[in-house]
Every structure is written in C-alpha cells, then in structure tokens.
Structure 1
Amino acid sequence: MFITLLDTESHRIFIWTADIFVGAGSAKPNTPPLKNGNDLRESGYLIAVGSRTSRFRRKYKKRIPFLVIIIIFILLLLAFIIISILYALAIHRKPVRTCRSRECLRSAANLALSMDLNADPCENFYQFVCGNWGSDHPRPDAYRSYDWFRDKQTKVYSIVRDFLNRNSSHQPKPVLQAKDMYRACMNTKELDKRGLKPVITILESLGLPPFPTFINVTEDFDYSAYTFDWLETVIKVKTQIGMDVLIGFDIYTDPKNSSVYRLIMGSPETTNPFPSTHTERKRHRRHFNDLKSYIKEATDFLSKMEHKSSKSDEEDEKVAEILKIFYAELMKLFVLEADGLKSSKLSEIELDQNVILAASEYFETNRDLYDLETDNTTSELESSDDAGYLIIPDYTVDEIQAHTDAVVESNNGTASPIWKKYLEGLFNISNTVLDFETDKILVSEPDLRYMSLMAAYVSKTPPVVLELYIWVKVVEVMSVHTTTELRNLFQRAYEQSHADDSVPPRSLHCANAVNDMMGMAVSYGIADRHFINVTKPKVITMIEELKDSLAHLVGQARWMDDNTKIATYQKIIEMKSLIGFPDWLLEEGKLDEYYEGIEIDSDKHLENLIKINQVKTRNVLNRFRGVNNFSWATDPTEVNAYHTFQENTITVPMVMLQHPFYDLGLDSLNYGSLGTVLGHEITHGFDNFGRQFDKNGNMLPWWSNSTIDSFVNMTQCFVDQYSSYYVPELDDHIDGKQTLGENIADNGGLREALAALKHHLKRRGPEPKLPGFEKLTPEQLFFLSYGNLWCGVSTRDSLKADLEDEHSPQQFRARGALQNSAEFARAWDCPPGSKMNPSKRCIIF
C-alpha cells in the first residue's frame, strides 16, 4: 500500500510505503511506531523526490558538456552533408533560364494570342492552337482566305513597295529599272491618258485587228471569204508576249538526263504571262520544273470561273452571264477606241447585238477548247511501266503531224501542216537551229490527244471565229494593265464571281508586278547582308540534321529492301539545297548579266511587261543546246519552299527564313515551323511521285519492285485516313488519293524535324524556357509551333478551291500528321482512343 503526501510548504511529495505480505505464512517484523516526518525520513521509508534528482544531477553533471558537444557535432555534420548535396546539385543543375529576347517575346505573344485554352489539345489540337488566330489576324477584304503564308507575302509586298518608293542612285542598273517599272505601274494618270492605244499597237504587231472582225460593223462583210492565219498569230503571241494560245510549248530538262534540255509540247500552259491583279495564294508545294505539262495551273481567272466543276447549274448559268457581259463590254470599248462606229452602217443597238453575239460565240468556243483539255486528262500513273514509273513518249515532228492528221481526217476535218511550222516560227527569234530528225519532242499521251483533237476542231472552225477567240484571249490578259476604266470592268466581273473579294491597293499590286517580273533585282535591294554569315549556316545545319533524321528513319523501315535503302541514302547525300538567295546575287556585275537585254521605260507600263517577257522567251529558246546549270526554282522573295525533282534540290527563299517561319527565338519553335517545312520538301524526293527520280534527278527505276509494292500498300492507309476527314462547311470530304503526295510529305517532315530537334538539343544542351510557357517541354513547344504554322481563316469559296488542290486544307494538314505521331500523344498525355491518339497510325517514313 502506498500513501502519497504533499508537503505544500516545501513543495515535496512523499510516498509512504506500508508493509506488504508476500506469500503465505511469511511476514516482516512489525514496523516500529513512527512519530513524525523526520522519523519517517530517518527510517528510510520516506524518500524526497527532489533529493533523488539532485543525486542524479551530481552523478551526470560532468557528462552534460560532453553530450552537448556530441549533439552540436552531429548537427554540424548534418548541415555539412545537406550543404554539400545542394552544392553538388547546383553544379550539375543550372537554374532554369527564361528567354527574354525580342524573338522569344514575339513568339510567346503570337502563340498566346492564337490559342484557345478552352479546347482540349487531345480532341481538337488545331482549335487549341489556332482557335483565336482569326480574331488576332482579321482577313483583309482582298483575300478569300488568310494564313501565315499570305500574311507574310503581303508584308513582303509592303517591304518591296517601300523599297521601290525610295530614291537611290548607287544601285545596279536592274535595281533602278525595277524602280522605274514600279513608277510606270503607279502612274495611273499616264495610263488613262494613253488609253487603249498601247494594246491596239500590240494587236497590230500580232496580226490582229483593233476589235474582232466577227462583230461585223459593216453590212456587206462576207464571212465566207475571210481568211486568217491563226497559226502565224499564235506564233507571234508566243514570241512577243510569251503566252500560249491553242498550243502549249516550253523547254525543260530531259526527264531521263537532267543535264540536257528537251522540247515539250501539249495543251496551253502559260495562259497569262503577266502579273495577276488578284494573286492567288501560293500553296506550300513541290516544284515540278520539267513536268509542268502534266499539272496545269490556269492563271486566267475568268477562264477558271467558266469551268468550276463544283458549281451548281444555277451558279454556272450566273457565272456564264457575268462573263458574257464582261466580254461584250470589253469588245465594245475597243470598237469605240478604234472609232468603229464612224465607219459602221449599223445603229448602236444593232452594234450592241453584234457585240453580245460575239461574246456568246467566244464563250462557247472557249468552253469547247477547254473541254478538249479536261476530257483527255489522266492520272499521273496511267502511263507507266510495270514498276509504276512514268513513261513520257517522244516523237519527231513528222510523227506528231502524221498522228494528228489521222485524227483530223477521222473527224471529217481538213489536215494541214502545223507543228513544224510552229517550231520554226518560234526558233526564228533565237540563235538555235532545230534538227527535226534528231530533236524529238516530249508529248504526254493526254497532250497528244489534245493536240490531235484541237487540230481537228480548228480545221472545222471558221477563221473569223478563230480570230475572235485569239483576240479575246490576248486582250483579256493585257487590258487590266491599262486604263482605270478597263481595270474597273475587270474588277466588277471578278467581284461578281467572288462576293467576298476586293481589289488590293494599287501600290501592293504594282509591288507584286515588279517582284513577279524582276524578282532577283528586288531581292538584291532588300537582301540582308548579314544573312550569309549568320542565318545561312544555321539553316544548313538544320537541313543536314533533317537529312540525317530521314536516313535514320529509312534505316528503320522494314518495307524497304537493302538495295533500295542504299540508293535512298545516296539520294539523300546528293540532295542539294539553295538557301536564301543565289550566291552570285551580291557579286558586282552579276545582276546586270542576269537581266541583260531588258530595257524599261518609266512611262510605259504594259510595254515594260512585254519587253521582259520577250527577253525571257528568247533566253529559254537559246538555252536549248546548253547544259542545265541547276538554277533557282523561284525568286528569293516568294513565301514558299520547293523541291525540284529533276535537280534533286530543295529551294528555301530568304523570306521563309524570317518570322513567322524562322527566327522564333527557340530551336523547338524553329524546328516545329521551318524544320517541318524543310522536312516536307526533303520527303518529296521519296513520296509517291518523287521516288521516280534518282539521285541525279533522272526518271529512272531505282526502287525494287518489291519495295514499290510495299510502298503502294502502305499508302492506302493515308488515302483512307485523309478521305475520312469531313468538311462540314461544304458537306464534303477530302480526296485522300489526290492529296496523297503532300500528305506523305507532311507526315515525313514532322517526324524528321522532331527527331532532328531531339538530336540538336542533346548535342547543344537544354534551351531556355519560353515566357508564359515555362511548364511546357521542348516537344510540346515543337508541336505548338507546327500547329500554329497552319493557322488561318477561310471562306466557303476558298475551301472549295482547297478541296480541288493537291494539298489538304490547313487544319487537316496539322491534324493528320499529328494523329500519326505517337510522340505527340505522349507529349500531351492524350488518353488512348482520343481523337489525337487513335489506335491506328499511318507511317511510311
């Protein structure tokens, strides 16, 4: 038993321990009687707690300093270890850097303003990246669609305009001529003063009357007795203004030997040799060079409007009426200019009736001849060998004549010699003499059919109608470069066919015209002198990394046999690149050599255009016997990039090496934008069409048959994927077969650029963070940059045009390639089965 006592005065606690009996029959002696607390203490039964603690303190008093020293030592040791670890981490882990350069800040702002953060990147990445792009980049009225390519091209024209407006005397002659040409274009007062006389003078030199004879301003005109040498006029049109009418002709490098040139004939290709008032958006595309005859690009917009297959019957009829009125008004203006009414025995009402009849006749003739072209086209691979390589036949001029004569006679027409006379007429202005026994002409099967049916059609068409047809074709492309009245007439017809379009400012139109006709001279004036030493080496490095990436991807491809892989490596190694502008551009005297023979008058705009075309035509004819020097495929001021198959070369103009395609501040952004563009062009050398040209640019079999079979089977995945893309605005789908080559290039370019970026960052080290995007990885920034590349706004009409193009519409170019990228799904942590992380992917390279 324990009794605890509390001494409140001394604050001590005492415990009274009673006797305890343990076990049976045993006990301690009885406790003697105790009188007070002292007795208890003395007896040992009462123990003071304080007293015991004192003894403990005395016992360990000497040990306390030692313990304190140990604890302090341990704490110091721990602090030393922690500081050492932090120091080691500080050495091996540099602090996060944020890029604050002008380029980074601009790129960050551009991405932030374009993005729609409410969109799910795994469901609709295009909306996520570009959802607000349109509000930040409103579409100008002059364009049916607006994107980065057009935005940049418009700014280039503004830069060109400002340069051409500046006075300067210490420039090469061609640069001064470009400025004179711009002044002539801008001098609308002089253009109005001269009226239509310049056009009438040119018509006379071509063997054409001031207005069509078909109008018949006299009552006693005998159509049956009228004669007209249509072939002689067609020759003059080609040699004097560089335009194809009825017959298409050019000189290209030999498909099987890219070092020499060949003659090519077919349907008209250069239907408008002058700069267009409405410059259609130039798509990011490959450059066919010697195969342009297979893919026609009509620049005559009115002719294109006549034949839009996507239009309904009601729309067709509306457009037909618009065009007939346009042609009637055009012809009547020339009748009035030439004082046709003075010699006319017709009343003005009767004259108007004749003019309307002439417009209708031209419209029908134009439609007939256009149908001869379109009804005889075939796909590129219809004329091919067993391995799928194109076969381009060549013929002597006599063989072509014999073939077309047979077709003419079978169509109840009267055959006449055409082709030899045509070629002789062209080369009369050159230093070249043709040998018709050995100089064979390349003519595709569709073009040969056109030439035969055209000859049959012409043989049965009255001469007065042929004259009408040629007259309107020529005047149509020249008239817009004359008076304000004719420009307005032209513009009204265009706006009635394009409700959402308007004419661009005159200054930009003239800047475009000068840039189109004298692009190298303009490039000299705006070229960055530091480009060669600063930008170009970086782009060369990027291209080499992209080529290495493609070679690595080819090495992983199981569908290619070893021999084809080796040939592919060789082609990659031999692939050349033209970057920025020609090396000779800034060399003294070289620009004068390039434009030798061109003379410009600051008061004669139309004549300036014609003189330039005459020199260009003569130079093309003179190069026939020469050796291909692999010249530039485009001017340095064009916002585009090209792959020239027959030269195994990619061309990257200098304006593509600036914002928004390059110089974005971070490598992840540069590789996501320009890197994918360059990868696109590199891949074109091995896509559905480019694979037919070997490392020297010759159309010779270099893939094995088994590899081609595997390739064709794999392409079906892309055809099915892109054909499934639905365009709700048009209630239509993309043509996956038509866009196959470009889709393969898009996908290959993306994979190559991403692999090149990873290699680049591994070699160079981590890059800084982008302001406002610090949480994103370089891979995520790469994909953001790629998606942003295709931001744009479109109207319904522009989407119609996109569906007829060999490229997919903008948003599907981004969507398709990213859906096929497993790296994209990992970077954005997209769950399996989401739109941007499908279970099936299409991959070739």
Structure 2
Amino acid sequence: MRLQHLPLLSSRIRDTLIDLPPHFSEKLDKRGLKPIFDVLASLGLPLFPTYINITEDFDYSTYNFDWLETVIKVKTQIGMDVIIGFDIFADPKNSSTYTLAMGTPETTNPFPSLQYKQKSHRHGHPRRFYESHKKYSNLNRDEHDFAGMMEVKDEERYNFLYAQLMKIFVSESKMFKDSKLTEAELDENIITAKDAYVSIKNDIYELETDNSTDSDEDYQNIPRFTVEELQTHTDINVENNNATISKLWKKYLEGIYNISDVILDLENDKILVSELDLKYLAQIAAYMAKTPPVLIELYIWIKVVEVMAVHTTSELRALFEKAYQLESSHYYSGSRSLQCANAVNDMLGMAVSYGIADPHFFNVTKPKIEIMLNELKNSLAHLVGQAKWMDDSTKLATYQKIIQMKSLIGFPDWLLEEGKLDEYYEGIEVQADRHLENMINIIQAMVKKGFNKYHGIHNITWATEPTEVNAYHTFQHNTIRRYFDKNGNALPWWTNETIGSFEDKTKCFVDQYSNYYLPELDKHVDGKKTLGENIADNGGVREALAALHMHLRKTGPERKLPGFEKFTSEQMFFLSYGNLWCGVSTSESLKSDLEDEHAPQQFRVTGTLQNEAAFAKAWKCAPGSFMNPANKCIIY
C-alpha cells in the first residue's frame, strides 16, 4: 500500500486506521456516554426518555415535543430516516436528472454494521411481545447475561435490551442521583417505557408494510406531487381520523434542505411518492397527530441511541452483541480494532482504495477485464439472438441496450489524480480519538453532498466503494431488467407480445424453485419471491459459459491447473460455480435465507445447473436423472 503518499486528509485517515492509539477501547470507555449525550443535545432529545418519569410531579399531558423538528435534525446530522423516509436519486423517467422521493424510512442505520454480514437498511420483521413487566424485578446494568429471563422467548429477551439500554443512560444522569425513586420503582418505570416503545415500534412497522405487494413496481407510473398536493392528500386521512392537521411536508423539506446549497422551489418541484408510500405518509401523519408527544420522543430516542450505542463503550457494545447473539446463533462481531478498520473501509472506502490503487491496474489489469466484459456482452447478444420468445423489435432494442452498457471497473479513473481525493472528501475532519464524532462528520458531509445533487445533472458514477468485492447492476443504469431502456429511463421498450411470452417462461422457474424443500424447516422455497434472482443466476451462468466457449475458440485450449489436469474447461467452469456457493447453513441462517430474494445457496447451484444441458453433458448425467431433468427452464 502507498500509505506514505496519501494526501493530507487520507494521512489522517491512515493514522486513525493504521496507528490506532494504544488502548483504544479503554479510551472510548473513559469517554463514556458523553459522545452520545452531545449528539442527543444537538438533536433536541433528552439524556434519557422523558416517559421514564423519574420525578413524582411530571404531567405528561402538558409535555411538548416538536417531533418533526427532531426528525429533521436526525436526517441532517446523522443521515438517518426516522418516521419519514427521504431520498434523492436519478429520475426514473429521465436518468440525466435527479428527483426527490418520500415515503417509508429507508436509511434506518447510517452507521457501519456491527455484524459481519451485508448491511441492511431495513429492520427485520418486528416481534409482538406481550411481556408482563413483573417478570423482571432487577435491571442490573452490570449483568449482561439477562439474568432471570431464561424462561421467556429469545424474541422477548432481545426486546429487553431496550430496557437495559435506558437503565444505563438513566444511571449516568445527575437527575437520577437526585431522584427520590427507589431502584425497584425506577426499574418498573423503565419496563413500562420499554413496553410502550415495543408497542409503537410494532404499530409503525404495520404502517410501513400495510398492503405490501409482491408485484413489480410500475416505474413508468409512480405518482408525483408538489408539497401542497401531498399535504392535501394526507390531510384527508388526518381529518378522517379526527386528529389535528399539521403542515408537515413543507416544513420537513425546508428543514432538511437548510444544510444544502440548493434552494428548493416547493411550488413547482415534484416529489416521487409511490402509491404504497403515499398511503404510509397519510397514515403516519394521522398516527403522529394522535400519539402523545412523550411517546413519540421515546420512540425516536431509542431508534437514534440504538444505532450509535454500539460504537461507544464496551458496556454498550457487549449489551448489543448479547442481543444479536440471541437473534442469530451464527453472529460474530470480531475485535474492536477490526470493527474500527471495517468502519473506515465502509465509510471512507475511496481513501482506502487510494492506498492500493496503482498505475499497473489501469494499464495492465483493467484492459484484460474489459476484454472479458466485452466477451460477456457478445455472448449475451448471442443468447438474445437465439431466444425464440422475443420478437425482432425487442431483440433490436436489447442489442442497442447491450451496446450502451457502461462498466465501472476496479477504481475510478480520477482516483490517482492529484487533489481529487481531497476534493471528494471536502469538509470532512477526523480525529483519532473521536470515533463516533468521526463517523457523524463523514455522514454529515455525505448527506450535504447528496442534497446538493438536486437540480444538477446526473452522471453515471460509482454506487459503492471500490474496496467492496462484488459485481452488480445499479438500480436503473442500463439495468438488465426490462423496465428501463438503454438510457436508464423507465420507458417501455419490450413489445406486449414479448412481455406475454416472457411471463409465460417465468412460470417454469416459479414452479421449479417452489418445489425445493428444506426439511430442517419443513418449508419450501418461495419461487415467486426469488424469481428475479433465479432468472439472473440461470442467465448469468449461460452467458458466462457462452463467453468461455467464444474465448476458447479465439485463444485455443487453456493451460491446466496442477492437480486438475483430468478436468475439461467446461468441468472446471461448473466446479468453480458450485464452489462459489459451497457452505454449511444452520437452521437460523436458513430461516433468514427464506426471507431473502435469493434462494438458499444450495438451490442456487442445483436449480441453475439442472437447467443447463451443457452441465449434464460435461458430467455425463443420465437423461431423467436429478441433475438432468427432461423439463428445463430457460429464458436466455
């Protein structure tokens, strides 16, 4: 790595990553909860939820809390969606411009994940727990083994962490030390607050998922509203629920854009809001209007503290690690230093990439990859040409789209240009002993940078950091899906006849994958939910195999790998694909797999290769055998 040559900003990053101060965890512990207390104060939130009520004369009915103002601050200061979701992305109908979008919360955790798995911005299914708070008589903050709770379900114990979390923050408060409450009375209040939070969390989750559908989004017809039109629509639902109307959406948009250099034209700017998101915004407006402010504060407080807490003291980290272990038996978090290194990679990946990028990649490696990608594009065009279910008009449009596909490989071309990296991270300050503050500074700079894109020209750029090892298609940039044309715009480019033929073909995949059975869970794979990824797996293997054949025709036989001399190129190809998904799954991981849009890993191999005649030929699978069924599902 060329760390000694990093620009000034990246040198500070290097010091934070490579030269971690001695006893880093101890220093974080010494700082205690102060970093979070400072953030809470800036967000307009108390040191602990007011609902806990550690005074005897508190009157909830007179309590005022401007929840919308706090939600605005949460979005602009830590980049997190709470209650309201907001985003800016390429306009589906005109990918050269940006559009505003609102709806359900999307970025529910802006910080690096504590767990070693792909970070998800969506929480899992909420659990409904009907706890009797009399079960738990002691919230001893020094006991992370959840003593006295082993007789209840794991889900209940997971939610109990919210009570322990609040107890830790109350215990650090001077107000508690001056309180006349006994320890038992405090615990009773905290359990009551925990139950109230779980109830609100479940209510809001129900609103987020109400009327959810498995059908594909109609990108061409997503409604657009001015802020006044959106307000009028949600006001109707608030009135129907006999609640008081509040002018939410103009205040929200003006509030979050106070940090931006862009001035919104709210009389004319249109906001993209899908039908389901529109329903959510109408329902959440009514729900907020009827919910006591002290409970809304409780909900926001826990949501915000939950995502920050794991990045502070060892006590809070251990609390959440125990909770995660209850939720997943294969959870593993790693050491604090490794987590810090991963956080730098996650949040400052371009700077880390600078340390490993070199001219050899651009001059030697990248051209080879470009040749490989061109061979893959050619093979895709060949498969499209063979597809009998596509009419000529759709084939021509597909060829044009393949030609227009753009590839981002390895690192951005500008990465090694002098001054470009500092320009990319302009406005970010990092200090080696300010872990949480560093992440928040980065988030704030990136949030402002994102907001400033509005009214600008959208150019294709990197959607992830170069240090992420992955291959993907972005949401609409020349996506393989049929909803976007060659320019990435949501315009119809398949004929109706081709669409009908395609949908007929997909039924085969739905039936095939729905027949796969997991005896450990006594459940089948959902062939409809996993359809898109199954088609991608099948088509990807066929495309790669066709590209291999084209390559071998041009270059001749490949050199044999030592120890694998007896295998043909085709056999090595299929061995490599099978090895890609080789692994051992626990029952809990399989449960998680069934909630995903991908099929469990063993079926990603079995399902794809059962459909591939070349596999059966390479391995001499008998006709009608398990891996060479008579009925094969093929689209491309």
| TM band (smaller chain) | over 0.9
| Letter of the 1:251 counterpart | I
Give yes or no for the alignment of 1:396 onto 2:226: yes
Q: Give the aligned partner of residue 708 of structure 1.
A: 499
Cα RMSD of the aligned pairs, angstroms, is 2.0
What secondary structure, in the 3-state scheme, does the structure 1 residue paired with 2:453 have? helix
- State percent identity of aligned pairs: 64
Shift, 1:317, TM fit: 6.6
Give yes or no for the alignment of 1:242 onto 2:79: yes
What secondary structure, in the 3-state scheme, does the structure 1 residue paired with 2:320 have? helix
Q: Give the aligned partner of residue 179 of structure 2.
A: 344
Q: Indicate conservation of the 8 Å contact 2:37/2:47, yes or no.
A: yes
Q: Indicate conservation of the 8 Å contact 1:306/1:319, yes or no.
A: no
Cα deviation per residue 1:609-646 (whole Å; 9 max; x = unaligned)? 11111101111111101111211011111122110142
What secondary structure, in the 3-state scheme, does the structure 1 residue paired with 2:237 have? helix
Evaluate the alpha carbon distance shift between residue 769 and residue 324 of structure 1 in structure 2; reply closer, same or farther with a 3 A threshold.
closer
Shift, 1:536, TM fit: 1.2
Q: Give the aligned partner of residue 285 of structure 1.
A: none
Distance 1:233 1:421 in 2: 12
Evaluate the alpha carbon distance shift between residue 324 and residue 751 of structure 1 in structure 2; reply closer, same or farther with a 3 A threshold.
closer
Question: Which residue of the other structure, out of 315, 334, 344, is the alignment partner of 1:504?
Answer: 334
Q: Give the aligned partner of residue 137 of structure 1.
A: none
Distance 1:792 1:375 in 2: 36
Evaluate the alpha carbon distance shift between residue 356 and residue 514 of structure 1 in structure 2; reply closer, same or farther with a 3 A threshold.
same
Give yes or no for the alignment of 1:630 onto 2:453: no
Give yes or no for the alignment of 1:280 onto 2:71: no
Shift, 1:705, TM fit: 0.4
Evaluate the alpha carbon distance shift between residue 278 and residue 443 of structure 1 in structure 2; reply closer, same or farther with a 3 A threshold.
same
Q: Indicate conservation of the 8 Å contact 1:324/1:356, yes or no.
A: no
Question: Which residue of the other structure, out of 265, 289, 297, is the alignment partner of 2:102?
Answer: 265
Q: Give the aligned partner of residue 632 of structure 2.
A: 841
What secondary structure, in the 3-state scheme, does the structure 2 residue paired with 1:585 have? helix
Kindly report which structure 2 residues correspond to 1:52-91, keeping only aligned pairs within 5 A, or say none: none
What secondary structure, in the 3-state scheme, does the structure 1 residue paired with 2:113 have? coil
Give yes or no for the alignment of 1:321 onto 2:156: yes
Q: Give the aligned partner of residue 42 of structure 1.
A: none
| Letter of the 1:513 counterpart | A
Distance 2:21 2:378 in 1: 49
| Letter of the 2:69 counterpart | E
Distance 2:401 2:576 in 1: 29
| Letter of the 1:642 counterpart | Y
Distance 1:830 1:170 in 2: 56
Distance 1:186 1:452 in 2: 50
Q: Give the aligned partner of residue 581 of structure 1.
A: 411
Shift, 1:498, TM fit: 2.2
| Letter of the 1:367 counterpart | N
Distance 2:248 2:534 in 1: 42
Q: Give the aligned partner of residue 555 of structure 2.
A: 764
Q: Indicate conservation of the 8 Å contact 1:186/1:510, yes or no.
A: no
Q: Give the aligned partner of residue 538 of structure 2.
A: 747
Distance 1:406 1:321 in 2: 37
Give yes or no for the alignment of 1:306 onto 2:127: yes
Q: Indicate conservation of the 8 Å contact 2:533/2:597, yes or no.
A: yes
Give yes or no for the alignment of 1:369 onto 2:204: yes
| Letter of the 2:127 counterpart | E
Q: Indicate conservation of the 8 Å contact 2:90/2:98, yes or no.
A: yes
Q: Indicate conservation of the 8 Å contact 2:106/2:122, yes or no.
A: no
Q: Give the aligned partner of residue 792 of structure 1.
A: 583
Distance 1:173 1:794 in 2: 45
Cα deviation per residue 1:366-408 (whole Å; 9 max; x = unaligned)? 1111111112322343x64xxxx65211111111111111111
Q: Give the aligned partner of residue 640 of structure 1.
A: 470
What secondary structure, in the 3-state scheme, does the structure 2 residue paired with 1:623 have? coil
Question: Which residue of the other structure, out of 447, 454, 458, is the alignment partner of 2:284?
Answer: 454
- The TM-score normalised by the length of structure 2 is 0.93
Kindly report which structure 2 residues correspond to 1:132-147, keeping only aligned pairs within 5 A, or say none: none
More off after superposition, 542-551 vs 389-398: 389-398
Kindly report which structure 2 residues correspond to 1:286-685, keeping only aligned pairs within 5 A, or say none: 297-298=120-121, 306=127, 318-381=153-216, 384=218, 390-648=220-478, 685=479
What secondary structure, in the 3-state scheme, does the structure 2 residue paired with 1:584 have? helix
Distance 1:751 1:735 in 2: 23
Evaluate the alpha carbon distance shift between residue 267 and residue 184 of structure 1 in structure 2; reply closer, same or farther with a 3 A threshold.
farther
Evaluate the alpha carbon distance shift between residue 348 and residue 513 of structure 1 in structure 2; reply closer, same or farther with a 3 A threshold.
same
Question: Which residue of the other structure, out of 560, 569, 586, is the alignment partner of 1:778?
Answer: 569
Q: Give the aligned partner of residue 133 of structure 2.
A: none
More off after superposition, 272-281 vs 540-549: 272-281
| Letter of the 1:567 counterpart | A
Evaluate the alpha carbon distance shift between residue 465 and residue 632 of structure 1 in structure 2; reply closer, same or farther with a 3 A threshold.
same
Shift, 1:325, TM fit: 2.3
Q: Which has the larger radius of gyration?
A: 1
Distance 1:727 1:551 in 2: 37
Q: Give the aligned partner of residue 190 of structure 1.
A: 27
Evaluate the alpha carbon distance shift between residue 317 and residue 558 of structure 1 in structure 2; reply closer, same or farther with a 3 A threshold.
farther
Shift, 1:762, TM fit: 1.0
Distance 1:693 1:456 in 2: 36
Evaluate the alpha carbon distance shift between residue 732 and residue 202 of structure 1 in structure 2; reply closer, same or farther with a 3 A threshold.
same
Q: Give the aligned partner of residue 823 of structure 1.
A: 614
Shift, 1:320, TM fit: 4.2
Shift, 1:802, TM fit: 0.8
Evaluate the alpha carbon distance shift between residue 791 and residue 624 of structure 1 in structure 2; reply closer, same or farther with a 3 A threshold.
same
| Letter of the 1:586 counterpart | L
Cα deviation per residue 1:167-225 (whole Å; 9 max; x = unaligned)? x5432123223224433797112111111011111101111111111011110001111
What secondary structure, in the 3-state scheme, does the structure 2 residue paired with 1:252 have? strand
What secondary structure, in the 3-state scheme, does the structure 1 residue paired with 2:565 have? coil
Cα deviation per residue 1:446-472 (whole Å; 9 max; x = unaligned)? 111111111111111101001111111
| Letter of the 1:551 counterpart | A
| Letter of the 1:444 counterpart | S
Shift, 1:315, TM fit: 12
User: How many residues are aligned here?
Assistant: 615
Question: Which residue of the other structure, out of 194, 214, 224, is the alignment partner of 2:51?
Answer: 214
Q: Indicate conservation of the 8 Å contact 1:305/1:497, yes or no.
A: no
Give yes or no for the alignment of 1:171 onto 2:6: yes
Q: Indicate conservation of the 8 Å contact 1:725/1:812, yes or no.
A: yes
Q: Indicate conservation of the 8 Å contact 2:87/2:102, yes or no.
A: yes
Distance 1:573 1:181 in 2: 44
Cα deviation per residue 1:567-603 (whole Å; 9 max; x = unaligned)? 0000000001001111111111111110011000111
| Letter of the 1:619 counterpart | K
- Structure 1 unaligned segments of length 5 or more: list them: 1-162, 283-296, 309-313, 649-684
What secondary structure, in the 3-state scheme, does the structure 1 residue paired with 2:526 have? coil
Shift, 1:263, TM fit: 0.2
Q: Indicate conservation of the 8 Å contact 2:158/2:327, yes or no.
A: no
Distance 1:610 1:528 in 2: 30
Q: Indicate conservation of the 8 Å contact 1:191/1:483, yes or no.
A: yes
- The TM-score normalised by the length of structure 1 is 0.71
| Letter of the 1:784 counterpart | L
What secondary structure, in the 3-state scheme, does the structure 2 residue paired with 1:643 have? coil
Distance 2:534 2:629 in 1: 17
Distance 2:441 2:512 in 1: 49
